[in-house]
Amino acid sequence: MIRISVGNPVSAVFCESEIPVAARWIAWSEVSHQFPVSDAPQMIGIIERLIESVAVASVEEDFLRQQLADICGELGASGVGLFDRAPNWVVTVQSGRWNSADIPRDLLADVLDRDSGVATTLEGPAVGTLIAVPVRTKLSGGRVLTFVGRHLSAEILPLTVGIARTLGSCLDILSDRGRADHRIECLRGILKVSLKLSTVQETEPLLELIAREAVRILRCDRASIFLWDREHQEVVACPALGVEGNSLRFSDRTGIVGEVIHSAKLLRVDDAYHDARFSRKVDVASGYKTRNLLCAPLFDGEHKLLGAFEVINKNDGTFTADDETTLDDLSIQVAIALKNTRERESLLRSHRQLTEQLTKGVSLIGESPAMQAMRSTIRRLAATDLPVLILGESGTGKEVVAQTLHFQGPRADRPFIAVNCAALTETLLESELFGHEKGAFTDAREMHRGKFEVAEGGTIFLDEIGDMSLGGQAKLLRVLEQKVITRVGGSQAIPINARVIAATNAHLAEAVRARKFREDLYFRLNVVTLDLPPLRDRPEDILALAEHFLNGFAIQARRPKLELSADARKRMQAHTWPGNVRELRNLMERVAFLAPNDVVAADDLAFILSPDQNRSHEPSLDLGLSEATNQFQQDFIRRGIRRVRNNMSEAARLLGLHRSNLYRKMRQLGMSEAGQDEDAEMLAGELPE
């Protein structure tokens, strides 16, 4: 569509296919009553040619040069020129044999002031007729079209007025088209920038990318983003090109940026050093000189002010209203990308902090040979994706071992999901592990992602796997073999990538023989087995664990560090800990909150020596008296040896025996430990019984 304006307030809109109609309409509306009807065909022909040419033109200067030369010849003029007052009179385009200096400048000014054409005779060397008519456009009211020739007649003045008016409309069309093309180019640039911004995940590289793209799109010299630090009432310029460290801080009341932040309005400055609001602080710091600038506020999606976006020194002239629109559009994309990037960085920091806290809280305490071997094995397994089956009594720390495998491996930044299989019925297990679709069953009001999906890329820990129903075992086996799941009520196969670690306190081999656990699932899980020793088999770790738990709970209880007295230490080492590490941890929690003094006495631990707690280690009543006595003596001697960390001399002293007599007694009881020290065994054999 082409809009033509000729006079006040005459205007109309034409399709390009209606150009001849547009030409005749212009000729009629503008000059039909100002010149003889016989001149109408010539007028219509010139106007029609102008409009047809402007429809395909792209460069104003080329259009004017070609069309003015044709009009000059058709009117019989020897020269034609278009003068522009900007601010001194200059010839924009000229054609023919004439000297622009011969045209009186005061006459040109008079034509503009009167807004009417003039026909006069030139005197001197340039003898002939001069016709001068104003050319009005939307962006410029300071142009005059002149025709010079010895044979020109003043009677064609109305005709030249119509030509000038049409020419002004054509120039408006070219200007609008140029602005539209530039706007399209800017929007395409903003779209490309938006795509680039979505790929940058850190704030500093994002700001540098924004600055580079803004310079390209707005055709200027520099760009900076100013982030508002509300708490300290400062703005941070980043990137601040030419400044050491590429960053600069100053008061949020300083200069144009400060005014934009507090007024939340865009500002344009055409002559920076003559604007009282402009601060030269950045220029002084960088050695740069600012001529002109645009500065726009940055708002996020909730209209919260993030800072300001400034572009400096337009390459050609000063910034325009179109540049203001472009900067506003670009600022929206920048603010959204900046907000998303900062939120992502915040989430990553929180994730790292939580991971570090979890990693610190997950540690295998103890220096016993069993624990040292366990840590060595875990370090090797953590780097693999092998399934691991963790066996051990209740309370030995199977989940801690599973977490250690996860956090020491390459999946540490991904989820660790623990599932207690014993707490899930067969009907609930499938939905919990694999998820369900909306409407899959009565209470399925919305889609639910299962634990395997949630653990994507991480680790899923199946605790108490030995208590899973046979039906649940079959479904789990299929998932482990195919590496895909299907939600309950769904049909889509969803690939999964989660390391599987299982744990149980049951004897799975016996459960397989009793047909209570699927043999194929057992072998699927039992690629690597970790058998955790009970706490009674590593008594040298008791005090280390106790102090670790006691220190942690003392912090929670907001009291000074607690210490274990010598008697308390002995009593703890003498206890068999049927609940293993969990029992010890729970005891230290109670002590940390309830112990009356900072030194924990033996009496503070009296409740752990309840006879009921040791029943599980009493000899069975099915044994004879002699066999039960032997079993008790074996257990008693082993506990004494563990208490002193396998020092046989200290163990003999603790039990009230000579070292050789201790070995003899162990040989009588058939204890294999007696054969571990050949010298002691030989010595025991040489002594009489």
Helix (H, G, I), strand (E, B) or coil at 498: coil
Domain assignment present for residue 569? The answer is yes
Q: pLDDT per residue over 326-376, tens digit each?
A: 888 888 877 777 777 777 767 766 666 565 555 555 678 888 888 899 989
Q: Which of 531, 564, 592 is the last residue of a domain?
A: 531
What pLDDT score does 509 carry? 86
Q: Which of 184, 169, 226 is nearest to 47 (CA)?
A: 169
Residue 135 has pLDDT above 60, yes or no: yes
Close Cβ partners of 332 (under 8 Å, ≥ 6 residues apart)? 299
Residue 457 has pLDDT above 50, yes or no: yes
Same domain, 389 and 441: yes
Same domain, 139 and 217: no
Helix (H, G, I), strand (E, B) or coil at 249: strand
Helix (H, G, I), strand (E, B) or coil at 526: coil
Distance CA 10, CA 29 (A): 8
Same domain, 167 and 35: yes
Q: Which residues pair with 17 in a beta bridge?
A: none
Q: What are the distances in angstroms from CA 250 to CA 226, 254, 472, 584, 667?
A: 10, 7, 65, 57, 85
DSSP assignment string, 79-91: EEEEEEESSSEEE
Q: Which of 501, 531, 561 is the last residue of a domain?
A: 531
Q: Mean pLDDT lowest for which of 14-23, 131-140, 299-308, 664-673?
A: 14-23
Helix (H, G, I), strand (E, B) or coil at 573: helix
What average pLDDT score do residues 242-269 get? 80
What average pLDDT score do residues 521-527 get? 89
Distance CA 468, CA 466 (A): 6
Q: What is the pTM of this model?
A: 0.50
What average pLDDT score do residues 436-447 get? 82
Domain assignment present for residue 252? The answer is yes
Angle at 109 between CA 106 and CA 110, to 5 degrees: 85
Q: Which two tokens stand for residue 368?
A: 């016993």
Range of the domain at 102: 2-180
Same domain, 139 and 253: no
Residue 392 has pLDDT above 80, yes or no: yes
- The answer to whether 639 touches 629, Cβ cutoff 8 Å, is no
Close Cβ partners of 384 (under 8 Å, ≥ 6 residues apart)? 409
Distance CA 229, CA 625 (A): 82
Q: What are the distances in angstroms from CA 643 to CA 216, 535, 637?
A: 77, 12, 10
Distance CA 457, CA 415 (A): 7
Distance CA 220, CA 395 (A): 69
Q: Mean pLDDT lowest for which of 6-20, 354-368, 486-500?
A: 6-20
Q: What are the distances in angstroms from CA 202 to CA 46, 199, 272, 339, 416?
A: 61, 10, 33, 11, 26
Same domain, 10 and 144: yes
- Which regions of 407-456 does DSSP assign to beta strands (E)? 416-420, 435-436, 448-449
Residue 342 CB-density burial (10 A; 0-12 exposed, 13-18 middle, 19+ buried): middle
What average pLDDT score do residues 248-261 get? 86
Distance CA 129, CA 500 (A): 99
When pLDDT is cut at 50, 70 and 90, the band that residue 299 belongs to is confident
When pLDDT is cut at 50, 70 and 90, the band that residue 39 belongs to is low
Domain assignment present for residue 193? The answer is no
What pLDDT score does 292 carry? 92
Q: What are the distances in angstroms from CA 162 to CA 25, 28, 74, 91, 174?
A: 12, 9, 15, 21, 18
Q: pLDDT per residue over 632-668, tens digit each?
A: 888 888 877 877 777 888 888 878 888 888 888 888 8
Residue 626 has pLDDT above 60, yes or no: yes
When pLDDT is cut at 50, 70 and 90, the band that residue 606 belongs to is low
Same domain, 512 and 402: yes
Same domain, 521 and 658: no
Query: According to the 3-state scheme, what is the secondary structure of 13-49?
Result: EECHHHHHHHHHHHHHHHHCCCCCHHHHHHHHHHHHH
What pLDDT score does 644 carry? 74
What pLDDT score does 611 carry? 42
More confident residue, 16 or 454: 454
Instruction: Quickly count: other Cβ atoms within 10 Å of residue 8's Cβ.
Output: 6
What average pLDDT score do residues 435-453 get? 84
When pLDDT is cut at 50, 70 and 90, the band that residue 677 belongs to is low
Residue 522 has pLDDT above 70, yes or no: yes
Tokens 């400060």 label which residue?
258
Distance CA 527, CA 519 (A): 13
Provide the CA 589 distance to its chain's centre, in angstroms.
Answer: 40
Tokens 């209203």 label which residue?
321
Same domain, 27 and 42: yes
Distance CA 432, CA 105 (A): 90
Residue 503 has pLDDT above 90, yes or no: yes
Distance CA 122, CA 103 (A): 8
- The answer to whether 141 touches 112, Cβ cutoff 8 Å, is yes
Q: Could you check whether the bond before residue 9 is cis, i.e. omega within 30 degrees of 0?
A: yes
More confident residue, 73 or 611: 73
Residue 682 has pLDDT above 70, yes or no: no
466: which DSSP letter?
G
The tally of CA atoms less than 13 A away on the side-chain side of residue 22 is 26
The domain that holds 631 is classified in CATH as: 1.10.10
Same domain, 79 and 155: yes
Provide the CA 44 distance to its chain's centre, in angstroms.
Answer: 63
Query: According to the 3-state scheme, what is the secondary structure of 286-326?
Result: HCCCCCCEEEEEEECCCCCEEEEEEEEEECCCCCCHHHHHH
- What average pLDDT is seen over the chain? 80
b/e code 483-507 from CB counts within 10 Å (16+ = b): eebbbbebeeebebebbbbbbbbee
Residue 87 has pLDDT above 90, yes or no: no
What average pLDDT score do residues 503-531 get? 89
- The answer to whether 108 touches 143, Cβ cutoff 8 Å, is no
What pLDDT score does 354 carry? 65
Close Cβ partners of 38 (under 8 Å, ≥ 6 residues apart)? none
When pLDDT is cut at 50, 70 and 90, the band that residue 687 belongs to is very low
Same domain, 123 and 243: no
Domain assignment present for residue 364? The answer is no
One-letter amino acid for residue 565 of the chain: S
Q: How many domains does the chain have?
A: 5
The domain that holds 478 is classified in CATH as: 3.40.50.300
488: which DSSP letter?
B
Same domain, 128 and 28: yes
What pLDDT score does 688 carry? 38
Q: Rounded to 5 degrees, what are φ and ψ at 409?
A: -105, 180
Computed from CA positions of residues 513, 514, 515, 517, in that sequence, does the dihedral angle turn out positive or negative? negative
One-letter amino acid for residue 405 of the chain: L
What pLDDT score does 632 carry? 81
Residue 597 has pLDDT above 60, yes or no: yes
Domain assignment present for residue 185? The answer is no
Q: Which two tokens stand for residue 447?
A: 């889609």
- The answer to whether 429 touches 560, Cβ cutoff 8 Å, is no
Same domain, 612 and 644: no
Query: According to the 3-state scheme, what is the secondary structure of 542-564?
Result: HHHHHHHHHHHHHHHCCCCCCEE
Q: Which of 180, 212, 236 is the last residue of a domain?
A: 180
Residue 465 has pLDDT above 70, yes or no: yes
The domain that holds 6 is classified in CATH as: 3.30.450.40
Domain assignment present for residue 248? The answer is yes
Furthest-apart CA pair in the chain: how many Å? 154
Close Cβ partners of 15 (under 8 Å, ≥ 6 residues apart)? 1, 2
Nearest-Å Rg of the Cα atoms of the chain is 46
Distance CA 626, CA 607 (A): 32
Percent of the chain scoring above 90 in pLDDT: 12
DSSP assignment string, 427-439: HHHHHHHHEE-TT
Distance separating the N- and C-terminal Cα atoms of the chain? 123
Computed from CA positions of residues 318, 322, 324, 326, in that sequence, does the dihedral angle turn out positive or negative? negative
What average pLDDT score do residues 124-129 get? 71
Domain assignment present for residue 36? The answer is yes
What pLDDT score does 53 carry? 85
Close Cβ partners of 521 (under 8 Å, ≥ 6 residues apart)? 473, 474, 476, 477, 480
Residue 3 has pLDDT above 60, yes or no: no
Residue 272 has pLDDT above 50, yes or no: yes
What average pLDDT score do residues 387-412 get? 90
Beta strands 293-299 and 267-269 are antiparallel
What pLDDT score does 359 carry? 55
Q: Could you check whether the bond before residue 239 is cis, i.e. omega within 30 degrees of 0?
A: yes
More confident residue, 335 or 534: 534
Domain assignment present for residue 374? The answer is no
